[in-house]
Amino acid sequence: MSYIDEIANAIQERVDSNRLPEKPEVTGLFRLYALLVLTTGEETTRENVHDAWAVWMLGRDADHRSIEPFDELDPSTQSEDEPFRRAIIQVARTRRA
């Protein structure tokens, strides 16, 4: 298993499975989240998470209504990125320790 997949799995383990799309599609999403661990780490924002999700979603449903800049989303939609942001930060902290 690659180090990217190890990080991706660690993030996924920290997110409620009810929030996830089915595998194997989810693999690419969590690999993008792993990239956030490596690049923005503990400074990851909900906007970063949304942007990674939007990149992933373009390959699945390019017309999805939420593929727009984070600040143009309604607060409820913005809040959906928070559990993923927390998981990314938790994993980033474990890598630092």
In 3-state terms, what secondary structure has residue 44? coil
Q: How confident is the model at residue 24 (pLDDT cuts 50, 70, 90)?
A: low
CA 28 to chain centre: 10
Q: At what angle do helices 82-96 and 3-13 cross, to 10 degrees?
A: 130
- pLDDT tens per residue across span 58-78: 999 999 999 999 999 999 999
Q: In sequence order, which residues have a C-beta less than 8 Å from that of residue 95 and are 6 or more positions away?
A: 7, 37, 41
Q: Answer whether 71's CB lies under 8 Å from 95's CB.
A: no
Q: How confident is the model at residue 50 (pLDDT cuts 50, 70, 90)?
A: very high
- pLDDT tens per residue across span 6-21: 999 999 999 998 888 7
**Residue 24 or residue 25, greater confidence:** 25
Sorted by where each begins, the domain ranges of the chain are: 3-96
